[in-house]
Structure 1
């Protein structure tokens, strides 16, 4: 690797390379949306509502454990090495799902694919947060969100093209699933050109290598200043080698863990993945035919991409908390209207278009505000010594809730209907707004080391006030 590089260009290479993990995350979670109707046919896997929920949600269960395991392993072995290993798992599991002869095999490979998705969902944002200069951290980390929704959009487009062109070919779903193997190869090849995180290298005592990497992604003067700051933080975290769940018995770290878990849960109780996984079925439930629903679902993917581009612009200029509160207010309102109009216009020819318009509105707020801030805050709030573990635990809860929703939604939809199901998400959305308003800290405009010191000082201030009151 040459030592003389343009720092800005090299940062771009790092960002593009790592976010192929986000693209895979997006494609794998989005492709099932269009594949399920074909997979469910009697001459294919013959899915029932229960096995349909199982096939969808097994990826999410795997993702929960992938996030947890990869977070811990990445703290020990490095972010880059972990992402490289995940690319191999993406490739293997993609081929496995495409050739699955029965439901059991499909469930097993969907679980393995989930391990890769979960690992990427926690590792890529953490890696980017550690590589980015603080003033570009929001934009770089949220580029991963753009790649996630970009992957989902590509899945919807390929689903529509293949689903319309090969509608009479029962095994068309296999072609939809195997396409994921291509970006897996791109992720592996591109990450070979990327260095390890300088913060992780410093935490392992590899100081000269850490400084060398910093000089590749910063100008020399700034690299040396930032290296001193990272070293100072590493001294405070001198027991980094022994970082474990016990670290969160420290009050300030425990508080951050609860915030991280809370933000992850907030992301899921919006109901976003009921639309991302079952958008085609929701549109069919409202009155669209299968082909029309597949094509209309492209609108959901397109608005997601546009919204994230706007979200990237927002997080560079506006504080995280107000963006998230506005986003949650928008998603909750959109679902409320879907629930109401599904009752008022039941059986009307206008209902499918009303539901489509409101799902587009929902995704505009979700992908432009809620999604980017969720992943960004989880990547930012934890200190170096437990960043991988803290992010992994938070994302574990995100995926566990995702699993529950993914499994339960088709059952609820078939038994209780669209309106009642979405009324539940509306109530949860109101609770989410309250949580963010009361508990989520602002993280914009500070380096990761400054944030760590800020959270430590909050704990010291609390202890001082407690001592005064007790005296």
Structure 2
């Protein structure tokens, strides 16, 4: 694998780092933001403060597809990094709760755009034999961003007094600025260039990625696929075999969220405090949790192209369901003292980290035909974020009123996901995007 290919995929995946940081940094900051010395929020307002970013994510998904089709993947990624800078500074300097909410929604637009564009870009520039590993880079970057946010929250908890949360959130402006600069040096997607009839530019990029001989073969194959199938219209997605593929993509996105990952990512300190940990200890456990997540994301990179997507999804779904079931039992029986709660959450994160975490993003970018990819990914990711909003908005209320029984809901959904994967998921490892398109649109 050429170092050039790795570097451009890393630059694109850096948007995933900001995605992970921005969505997770609130977990350590929310208790300080909600306090009487700041915005004095009740449980519903707290849920809205955490989950409002998802509204922005959904907006970002709606507009990113058409914009990236018109102006290119690279330009919209650059715009996304600029929104990350603006939103992080807006949150950090907010004096009114409404300004903070507005800035979080802008952050969500950037997150929604990055969550859609980074996997598409990486899938479109990657050779088939490396696409799983390189696609997992995006999820790895997300997990690094989440881990960095958790560690940063812990380190900054005593910095700035009542304004510590401003530092927790505002520090993200620095990596956002670095990404903004890096993105000027990545090439445009060769598939997008061929759709725009920019053959020479596409050939130069494919040659640089694959070498001259393989680059020529890739150019011929992609060009034949692009010219044979003109750009599809959104309405066509809701008919025949395309609708079946779309429903699979939507289901994958929704299952990734409703199985409970973001109750852990957004509310880990709240869960640990409910289990009897103090504030400092809860933040420390959350930081440890981020490192576990990161470790298993790295593990996924070594297996997703070797073992395949489907086996990882099966093992991960089962592991997540069992972990949350044990967590529910500890809360229901009130036998959650010590570190068993941490053990259950680590088991859940380990299972998610090598399965639904990376594999769903890889599959969503793989399974749709070239001429419908941006539309289909936009719809799938839009509903993914919609499911995220429902989960993150309702969890504080569910935990307060249902206690441990709330975890039973998420555990049962993990087992529903397991059944869906076994019945409907088709293996895609080692196949070019064009091969996948032929197989899935025929089936």
Under TM normalisation by the shorter chain, which class is it?
over 0.9
Residue by residue over 1:148-182, the C-alpha shift from the partner in whole angstroms, topping out at 9 and shown as x without a partner, is 0100100011100111x33x811100000001111
Q: Is the contact between residue 333 and residue 426 of structure 1 (CA under 8 Å) also seen in structure 2? A: yes
2:100 aligned partner = 106
Alignment check: 8 A CA contact 2:13 2:141 kept: yes
Q: Secondary structure at the match of 2:185?
A: coil
- 8 Å contact kept, 1:342–1:351: no
1:214 is aligned to 2:206: yes
Aligned partners of 2:411, 2:316: CA distance in 1, in Å?
Answer: 13
Give the stretch that moved more between structures: 97-106 or 225-234.
97-106
Q: Distance in 2 between matches of 1:359 and 1:234?
A: 45
Match of 1:101, SS state, is coil
Look up the match of 1:362.
348
Quote the residue 2:399 is aligned against.
413
Structure 1 residue 22 and structure 2 residue 16: aligned? yes
CA distance in 2, matches of 1:430, 1:305: 24
Q: How many corresponding residue pairs? A: 443
Q: In 2, distance between residues paired with 1:186 and 1:328?
A: 36
Question: 2:153 aligns to what?
Answer: 159
What is the rounded CA distance, in whole Å, between the counterparts of 2:405 and 2:332 in structure 1? 10
In the alignment, the residues of structure 2 paired with residue 96 and residue 57 of structure 1 have an alpha-carbon distance, to the nearest angstrom, of 17
Moved more, 121-130 or 428-437: 428-437
> Hey, what's the Cα distance between the residues in 2 that align with 1:444 and 1:370?
16
SS at match of 2:161: coil
Partners of 2:144 and 2:322 in 1: CA distance: 25
Distance in 2 (alpha carbons) for counterparts of 1:295 and 1:229: 51
TM-score of the pair, normalised by structure 1: 0.92
Partner residue, 1:423: 408
Structure 2 portions without partners, runs of 5+: none
Distance in 1, matches of 2:19 and 2:161, equals 27
* Contact 1:27/1:148, CA 8 A, preserved across alignment: yes
Per-residue CA deviations over 1:239-278 (Å, capped at 9, x if unaligned) read x1xx331121441211111110011011012101000000
Most deviating of 61-70 and 271-280: 61-70
Q: Does 1:88 align with 2:82?
A: yes
State which of 381, 391, 394 in structure 2 corresponds to 1:395.
Answer: 381
- Which of residues 256, 264, 271 in structure 2 aligns to 1:275? 264
Q: Cα deviations across residues 66-113 of structure 1 (Å, max 9, x unaligned)? A: 122212221222111110110111110111111111221111111110
Q: How far 1:352 sits from its partner (Å)?
A: 4.4
Does the 8 Å CA contact 2:190/2:203 hold for their aligned counterparts? yes
Contact preservation (8 Å) 1:97, 1:178: yes
Which of 43, 47, 56 lines up with 2:50 in the alignment? 56
In 2, the alpha carbon distance for the partners of 1:65 and 1:329 equals: 33
Once the two structures are superposed, the pairs formed by residues 152-301 of structure 1 within 5 Å of their partners are 152-163=146-157, 165-166=158-159, 169-238=161-230, 240=231, 243-301=232-290
Whether the 8 Å contact between 1:67 and 1:395 is mirrored in structure 2 is: yes
2:320 alignment counterpart: 331
Aligned residue in 2 for 1:69: 63
Instruction: Kindly name which structure, 1 or 2, has the bigger radius of gyration based on alpha carbons.
Output: 1
Aligned to 2:135: 141
Residues 399-449 of structure 1, C-alpha deviation per residue, up to 9 Å, x if partnerless? 0010011110011111221x1110111121121111111112211110001
Instruction: Report the CA distance between 1:231 and its aligned residue.
Output: 0.9
TM-score of the two chains, using structure 2 as the length reference: 0.98
Structure 1 runs not aligned, ≥5 long: 1-6, 459-471
Give the Cα separation in 2 of the matches to 1:308 and 1:79: 25
Residues 201, 209 of structure 1: 8 Å contact kept: yes
**Alignment partner of 1:171: what SS?**
helix
Q: Does residue 1:309 correspond to 2:295, yes or no?
A: no
Please, which moves more after superposition, 385-394 or 171-180?
A: 385-394
